[in-house]
Structure formats: structure tokens, C-alpha cells
DNA sequence: GAGGGATAGTGAATCGTTTTACTGAGAGTG
DNA sequence: CACTCTCAGTAAAACGATTCACTATCCCTC
């Protein structure tokens, strides 16, 4: 009844446990005839390797951890799928953690990853966890930051130039005649948010347009967009903005829904531009202009950087790949001549 | 340099390793004064429990596996988040696998879960894996089927009455005057797909409407919807359907996009109804009618069933919870008087 | 004051792999 | 022929936690 172990397999195949291990891991040559007997024994007993024992001996697991800000945001699931795809080429598997923007959850997952001795970690950090990540790295689990540039330069990172992305968004709004622009986003604690609004401010300053009115909310989900939109609608008509730059597309969708629900015409009364260029924003009630980020390439590149560190550890040389964002114009900012 | 282990902690605290373990797991009472010394030693050494060793000894991990059909489908990420939420109450964590509709990936993940000796598994199966699941169960990892009814009655399951859901969708289309209805879905190998189209056929037969024209595609994503729509558009005008029932909302979105792109008016020329009621379908260019499934409750219930089996194993009594779907009518099927 | 509980703590055995140092048996070489 | 070299395979020692059978106090009770 108890699950078979290597000893049982060895006994049935008439070899030693060491030989079974060699067959399993191809670590040393085994005569074809012997290997065949071992495989037959494995099949007969339904043997499945106990990964805990293996890990204990080897000191490291074969899984990589990834921690994302929000699994319900398609941008992050795209990254995760890309990572998963790339990892299968390296014959490793992925365990996904969802911090949901919460520092407490992030810490709980870091504990888990550390206890599991993951072979590496991809993370978009929320809280102040750099020292935790350094410990992880020093103990043999390399870390690569995703969608976040490492200023301290003690980790490799893959990011998008968020400053530039913010600049592109605001420049587009200003250049199409908008003069009173609101930024609706999550907390500026998030580097991405701070940089996007910062880049936008730059664009407006250059153009002599009034600075952004910044609405900070406590989440990056559609619901936050609804709340933000309602705050804007509560303003006196005279100071109501004529454009909204949302920190991501989910927020943009929430804003769009709340505004149209209140009878505001988009883009005529208020233009909306989002960030991430997710499929659903492109297919929203009014297709939303957005700043595209190359999720697929980011996932692949991050995984490759991580695997390089895993396979050749202790180099202490960290790479920083920065992708360029791209402005995608749709109906939500410009009356279409379509 | 090497990471500290219980022995180091014990030495520093001046106690035995057994006591350290008791502090860690609260398995036996420890004097407060002693516990304090142990905790100090843990902090000083930065000790983190090696989960592999723990698991090896205990024979089971504290993580639960979940295997979903498609992480980029919000319906499944909603379920996953709900499961994650519920599990934290039980102090366990979640490892998420994405089969992406592919039987080969599903098998690879099952291998992983089995090697890891997960304490339980939630799965929406793709391929023919029931015997694998039975083995998993017999070896101490209970399995609960999600979004799929177990006909063999050898697992607990949480599902939605897909037959009824299909019935509701088709009945709605027929009752609003549609007479030539196409079903655009993934492979009928998927139980959900087969039952949804089956239920729809029932509704049409009852009403004396022509049977569904079924388009089977190889995926359940938006791209499949686009392909399906193009096949419909290629039909002679005389036999072109006046309504589409999509197997899920992602497909419905793809269909909607392709149809409007081709100049077809929705719902005037062709009505569209989806399935799942995801947020993005409700906020699509034309808000899409859909069949709502209670993702959050499904995740919670499935987790509770699983935990019951984990905590009181070997009962051999399996429960089958079936939720009722709900028709949500939006603009894509009925001209709105709004 | 002997017996009987509690209460804290000990230390060796154990889980199932991988790995390392060895052992033989043939084969090739000077 | 003595020797080194491969090639296959063996047996035992790790890895680091948990647990189980004990021991040592201390306190209470009859």
C-alpha cells in the first residue's frame, strides 16, 4: 500500500539503489540491459520519485518562483505564461504567487519560497523587501526583478521605461488639445506608478500645460477606476478634467465604465488613456488608447537572465534590460474617422 | 556562510533539537522562557526551515495544487484567487499549474504534483487523467474536480449545471426571435463544451427551432472566436446564422470583434451570447449577454471539500455540489431601450 | 514519605533520495 | 606479465527536519 521507493525498485530489478538513481538522473552510464530492468520495475511498482528527499539531498529545488502583483491583470498572466513557456525549455517548473498588491501577502510568499529553497525567483516587488531578496540571493536563489528597474544594481532586472511611457501618454493627450489632465492610479509607493506620473508631468511641463491632478487609490484594479471616476465627477464642472491618464488598463476600464454610465461622452467630454495594452482594453465599449508593454518578451528575457544566474552562480554581474513602451492610439482619445 | 539549521539554533539557544522543533510547530508545550531563547537564536541566525526535510519526514507537503485550463481566462483566475483566499485560513499555500487546454502539459504538471506529494489537488481536467487522479488520491493526495461533474463518483466535485446553462442561453436566443443559431466552442472533448451545446440543443428542440450549427475549434480563447466568426462570414448569406452562442466569454469577445470588424451589426444582424460572465465581456464594445457562474463560491466550496478530505482522510464519501447558472441579458442579444 | 501525575526537555531513529569512495572485471599497452 | 584505464555497479554516508520513547523535576495527595 505504501508508495514504492528506490529501495523497492532496486530490489525488484536486482540492482543497488545507486544504480536506480543513475538511471533516474542519467548521472552515470548504465548498461542498456540493466536500465531496461530498472524501468520495468519502476513501471510495475508505479514508482514516483519523492521530490522532498531529492531536494533535501541536492539542496535546491527544480522549481522557480514568480510573484506577480495581480493575477487577475492580463498583463501579469501574459508575463507568467511567457515565463512558464521559457522554463519548460530548461526543464523546470513554475510556482506562482499572487501578492495582490499587499505587502503582507508578499512576505508570506517570500517565506514560502525561502522554505522551499526555490532555484530562483522572479518578482515584481510591492513592499520594502530588498533585504529579504538579498538574503534569498545570498543563500543560492538568484532573483530577477520584473517590471521594475533596480536602482541599487544588486539584482538583474527587466523593465519598461515607465517614465517614457508616462511621457508618451501625456504628450499624446496634450498634443490632441487636452489641457486639464487627471492621473488615476494606485499608490505612488509603486515605482511603476510614480514613474508613469512623473514622466507625464515632464511632458506637460515641456508643453506649458497645467500639471497633472493626481488621484492616488489603494488598488490597481477596475474597481479603483470606478472610484476615481466618481471623485472626478464630484468636482465642479469648471475644474473637471478633460482627460484621464490611468495607471493601467484595468483602471482605465473602470473609469470608462463609470464615466459612460454617468452620461459623460468619451472621448468628446473626457479622453481616456490606459497602460499595458491588454486585449480587453482594445475591445472595450470604446476601444482604449494605451501604452503597450512587451509582456511576452519581458517574461522570456527575465527567465533567461535568471537561468543564466542559476547555472553560473556567483558572478555578481547584474544585467538591466529596459524595453521601450509604445503609444497605441484608439477611439478613447481621438474621434475616429474610421 | 551555509544556511543555519535546527542544530545550530539548538546549540545557540542551549536546548535540544527536539525543543526547537516543538517551538517551531507548537506540537508540545515549551516554557515561555525557553521559547524566547529559541526565537532569539532563530532571528540571530536568520534560520529558515528547510521545507524539503520537513516534508520528507512528515510525508506530505503543506501546499495544495490547482490546475486550471487557462490562466488568461479571468473566470479561472477568479476561482484561483478564491481558492488562495480560502487556503490562507487553513494556513496552506497554493501552487498553480496551467494546462492551457493541452493534455501533455496537464500530464507534466500531474507528474510535478505527484513528485511534490501535494496535500491535495483541485483540477479541471482536460485529458483522460482519471486513473492518474485515482492513484494520486490513493497515495494520500485527495482530489476535487472543479467545474466538472464526476460521473464515476469517485471524487468530490464542484460544478455548474452546464446543461442548464446551455439551455438558458439558447432559450433566450430563440425566445427573442432567433431561428438560426450557431455554437462556437472548443473541442467537445471538454465536458463543459459538450454539455453546454447539448443543453442548447434541448432548448431548440423543445421550441421547434432548427438545431445548432456546431463549430468546433481547438481552443477556448478569443483567437478561436475570431476564426469561428470568419467561418460563419464565409457562409452564403442565405444560411448565415442570426445568433451565436459562444462556449465562453473570451470566444464571444473574439466573435464580436471579428463580426463588427466585418461590418455586421450586433445584435441587429447577429446576436451574441457568451458564458462565464467575466468583467471584460460586460464592458465590451457591445456589452455581451452571458451565463453567469459563481466563480468565487466555486473556489471556496471546492477548497472546503478538499480540506475536509485532507483532514479526515479515507472516508470514501464524495460530495457533489452543483451550482445553478444565471442568464444575464445585455445589449449583444437585445436592442436596448436604455 | 511513597506513589502518581503533570510538565519540560532530551537524543536517537527515521523519512527517501543523491553522491562519493570503492570494488571487480575486462581490455589495451609497453 | 604487470600495469594502468575504462566501464558498471555497490554500499554507506550524507541532507535537515520531526517524532517517539525516555528521563528528570516538581508538586500534590493519601
Residue in the block written with cell 498588491 = A101
Candidates A44, A50, A52: best to mutate against B (most CBs of B within 10 A) is A52
Residue-wise pLDDT tens digits, B81-120:
999 999 999 989 999 999 988 999 999 999 999 999 999 9
What residue segments make up the domains of chain B, in order of their start? Answer: 6-49, 60-160+295-324, 162-293
Cα of B94 vs its chain's centroid, Å: 13
Cell of residue B84, nine digits: 488562495
Residue of B nearest to A114 (CA): B48
Residue-wise pLDDT tens digits, B18-59:
999 999 999 898 999 999 999 999 999 999 999 999 999 999
User: pLDDT band for position B336 (50/70/90)?
Assistant: low
Say what the pLDDT of residue A25 is: 93
Residue-wise pLDDT tens digits, B239-265:
999 999 999 999 999 999 999 999 999
Q: What angle do CA A300, A303, A308 make, to 5 degrees?
A: 125
Average pLDDT over residues A199-226: 96
Contact A115 B222 (CB under 8 A): no
Is residue B146 predicted with pLDDT exceeding 80?
yes
Is residue B226 predicted with pLDDT exceeding 60?
yes
Contact A56 B53 (CB under 8 A): yes
Say what the pLDDT of residue B2 is: 74
Give B205 to chain A, closest Cα distance, Å: 34
Say what the pLDDT of residue B3 is: 87
Say what the pLDDT of residue A27 is: 87
User: pLDDT band for position B149 (50/70/90)?
Assistant: confident
CATH superfamily of A60-160+295-324: Response regulator (3.40.50.2300)
Residue of A nearest to B74 (CA): A72
Is residue B297 predicted with pLDDT exceeding 70?
yes
Say what the pLDDT of residue B145 is: 97
Strand D contacting residues by CB (7 Å): A 14-19, 22, 28-31, 33-34, 53, 56-57, 59; B 2-3, 5-7, 17-18, 20-22, 24-25, 27, 47, 49-50, 53-54, 56-58
Is residue A157 predicted with pLDDT exceeding 50?
yes
Average pLDDT over residues B163-188: 96
CATH superfamily of A162-293: Response regulator (3.40.50.2300)
Give B43 to chain A, closest Cα distance, Å: 13
Angstrom distances, CA of residue A259 to CA of A221, A267, A286, A288: 16, 10, 11, 13
Is residue B337 predicted with pLDDT exceeding 80?
no
Say what the pLDDT of residue A246 is: 98
Average pLDDT over residues B227-246: 96
Q: Among partner residues B61, B81, B115, which is closest to A49 by beta-carbon distance?
A: B115
Say what the pLDDT of residue B152 is: 72
Nearest by Cα to B289 from B322, B325, B319, B237? B325
Question: Could you give the CA distance from residue A37 to residue A263 in angstroms, rounded to a whole number?
Answer: 75
Percent of chain A with pLDDT over 70: 99
Say what the pLDDT of residue A338 is: 46
Residue-wise pLDDT tens digits, B266-286:
999 999 999 999 999 999 999
Give B54 to chain A, closest Cα distance, Å: 8
Question: Could you give the CA distance from residue A267 to residue B257 in angstroms, rounded to a whole number?
Answer: 20
Helical pair A6-13 and A32-45, crossing angle rounded to 10 deg: 120
* Count of pairs with CB atoms under 8 A, one residue in A, one in B: 110
Average pLDDT over residues A27-45: 94
Question: Could you give the CA distance from residue B262 to residue B295 in angstroms, rounded to a whole number?
Answer: 33
User: pLDDT band for position A68 (50/70/90)?
Assistant: very high
Contact B284 A283 (CB under 8 A): yes
Say what the pLDDT of residue B338 is: 46
Q: Which of the 8 DSSP states describes residue A247?
A: S
Is residue A336 predicted with pLDDT exceeding 80?
no
Contact B280 A285 (CB under 8 A): no
CB crowding B306-317: b at 16 or more within 10 Å, else e: bbbbbeeeeeee
Average pLDDT over residues B136-157: 90
The answer to whether domain B60-160+295-324 and domain B162-293 are alike in fold is yes
Average pLDDT over residues A74-99: 94
Amino acid at each position: 500500500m505504501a508508495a514504492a521507493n528506490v529501495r523497492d525498485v532496486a530490489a525488484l530489478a536486482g540492482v543497488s539503489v545507486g544504480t536506480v538513481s543513475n538511471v533516474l538522473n542519467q548521472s552515470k552510464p548504465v548498461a542498456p540491459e540493466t536500465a531496461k530492468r530498472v524501468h520495468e520495475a519502476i513501471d510495475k511498482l508505479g514508482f514516483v520519485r519523492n521530490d522532498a528527499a531529492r531536494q533535501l539531498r541536492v539542496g535546491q529545488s527544480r522549481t522557480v518562483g514568480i510573484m506577480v502583483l495581480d493575477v487577475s491583470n492580463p498583463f501579469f498572466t501574459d508575463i507568467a505564461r511567457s515565463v512558464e513557456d521559457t522554463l519548460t525549455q530548461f526543464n523546470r517548473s513554475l510556482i506562482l504567487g499572487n501578492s495582490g498588491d499587499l505587502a503582507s501577502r508578499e512576505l508570506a510568499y517570500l517565506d514560502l519560497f525561502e522554505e522551499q529553497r526555490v532555484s530562483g525567483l522572479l518578482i515584481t516587488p510591492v513592499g520594502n523587501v530588498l533585504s529579504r531578496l538579498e538574503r534569498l540571493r545570498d543563500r543560492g536563489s538568484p532573483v530577477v526583478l520584473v517590471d521594475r528597474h533596480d536602482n541599487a544594481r544588486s539584482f538583474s532586472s527587466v523593465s519598461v521605461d515607465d517614465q517614457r511611457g508616462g511621457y508618451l501618454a501625456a504628450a499624446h493627450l496634450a498634443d490632441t488639445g487636452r489641457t486639464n489632465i487627471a492621473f488615476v492610479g494606485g499608490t505612488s509607493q509603486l515605482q511603476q506608478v510614480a514613474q508613469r506620473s512623473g514622466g507625464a508631468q515632464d511632458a506637460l511641463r515641456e508643453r506649458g500645460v497645467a500639471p497633472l491632478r493626481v488621484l492616488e487609490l489603494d488598488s490597481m484594479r477596475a474597481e479603483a477606476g470606478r472610484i476615481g471616476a466618481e471623485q472626478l465627477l464630484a468636482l465642479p464642472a469648471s475644474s473637471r478634467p478633460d482627460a484621464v491618464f490611468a495607471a493601467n488598463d484595468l483602471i482605465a476600464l473602470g473609469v470608462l465604465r463609470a464615466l459612460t454610465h454617468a452620461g459623460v461622452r468619451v472621448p468628446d467630454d473626457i479622453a481616456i488613456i490606459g497602460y499595458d495594452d491588454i486585449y480587453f482594453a482594445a475591445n472595450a465599449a470604446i476601444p482604449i488608447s494605451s501604452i503597450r508593454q512587451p509582456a511576452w518578451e519581458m517574461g522570456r528575457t527575465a527567465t533567461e537572465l535568471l537561468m543564466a544566474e542559476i547555472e553560473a552562480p556567483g558572478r555578481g554581474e547584474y544585467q538591466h534590460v529596459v524595453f521601450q513602451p509604445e503609444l497605441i492610439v484608439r477611439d478613447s482619445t481621438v474621434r475616429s474617422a474610421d
